[in-house]
Amino acid sequence: MKHIYSNAIGTFVFDEKFNVIDKSLFKDVSRLSELEKLELISEEKKFLEKYSGADVIGFKEQIKAISDENTLNKLNPFFDKNKKAIRELVISQTKKSIRESVTDDLLIIQTIGSIDETTKIINMMYRRLNDWYSYHNPEFSAEDIEINRFCELILSKDKKNLLRELKVSDTMGKDLSKRDLSSIFLLAKEILELFKLIEKEEKYLTEMMSKICPNLLDLAGHVIGARLMKHAGSLKNLADVPSSTVQLYGAEKALFRHMRSGSKCPKHGLIIAHDFVAGAINKGKAARQLADKISLAVKVDVFGGKKDYGKFLLKKLIKNKGK
């Protein structure tokens, strides 16, 4: 009866009394940290084939064997001799796999996270700006104009001009001093800066996505595509889930409420923001069709298919709209 025992520096074969009868070290132990150069797998395979009848000691048995004093004494010379090398090897292996775990997916997910967060921040700052500026000029509130347009206008025109355009003669606002206003305008300038930040990040996001998932990009757009990836955790995960899951990503709350209390089942999650769904009369059907195509496109991206399949799918989708 032979036992095979593997650890980070090599594989050892023992007889039933745990004497080492053969070993295959992973090449030069002193050079273990330069792992890339070692052909681990092929060496290992050959060695294991040689002892194919032997009993491979699993993790539990290894622990048990090591706990036994006799066994330990026999194994100790190997451990002692190579302790430092093993430690270094394990650390550098871990570092390498951490290094390799950083994929373009993660960068995309961080970018869309940052974009969504910055949008929230803009809304937060804008609420304060609107409050603060309304002491000066409450008639010019930004209810029907875009936030960035509002900031630009209050920065570029003074109160009189803005009121003249609104045809308001009697204002409720106090005429604040230049110093007071300059402090309010700091906030408006900051908001415009944040808009620029989002713009740049969206550009980067589009670049990244056209590199790793051009079909998803063409079909879903950069924002929705990236949000779906963020929701799934990675592009591969997104390719793994069925299209009905893609359809409901972002509607988990409503879905679980439906499952628990029998309320209506949600028909769309994140993808409601897509023009194809938002503009459809039957939104549930449109969401199902789009999710179906997104699922296809992502699979093509992950398994390295054609780069213009997304465009083709989108055309097909629009052609069959409402059918």
Shortest reach from residue 301's CB to a copy of itself, in Å: 19
Please, which residue, 35 or 278, has the CB nearer to a copy of itself?
Answer: 35
Please, which residue, 197 or 255, has the CB nearer to a copy of itself?
Answer: 197
Residues 304, 306, 309, 311: is their CA dihedral positive or negative? positive
The span from the CA of 253 to the CA of 286, in Å, is: 21
Shortest reach from residue 223's CB to a copy of itself, in Å: 16
Specify the pairing of strand 10-14 against strand 55-56.
Answer: unpaired
Shortest reach from residue 169's CB to a copy of itself, in Å: 10
Please, which residue, 190 or 292, has the CB nearer to a copy of itself?
Answer: 190
Shortest reach from residue 32's CB to a copy of itself, in Å: 12
Exposed/middle/buried for residue 24 (C-beta within 10 Å: 0-12, 13-18, 19+): middle
Please, which residue, 197 or 272, has the CB nearer to a copy of itself?
Answer: 197
Please, which residue, 65 or 129, has the CB nearer to a copy of itself?
Answer: 129
DSSP H helices, 102-251, are: 104-133, 147-156, 159-166, 178-212, 214-220, 222-232, 235-240, 243-248
Looking at this protein, which amino acid is placed at residue 314? Answer: L
The span from the CA of 73 to the CA of 251, in Å, is: 60
Please, which residue, 91 or 259, has the CB nearer to a copy of itself?
Answer: 91
Which residue from 227, 200, 194, 1 is spatially nearest to 108, judged by alpha carbons?
227
Quick one: tokens of 108?
Answer: 């995309």
Shortest reach from residue 110's CB to a copy of itself, in Å: 5
Residue 10 main-chain phi, psi, to 5 deg = 165, -175
Please, which residue, 48 or 121, has the CB nearer to a copy of itself?
Answer: 121
Q: What residues line the site for a copy of itself (CB under 8 A)?
A: 33, 91-92, 94-95, 98-100, 102, 106-107, 110-111, 113-114, 117, 121, 124-125, 128, 131-132, 135, 138, 170-174, 176, 179-180, 182-183, 186-187, 190, 193-194, 197, 200-201, 204, 207
Which residue from 300, 291, 297 is spatially nearest to 313, judged by alpha carbons?
297
Shortest reach from residue 164's CB to a copy of itself, in Å: 17
Shortest reach from residue 45's CB to a copy of itself, in Å: 28
Strand partners, 3: 14, 55
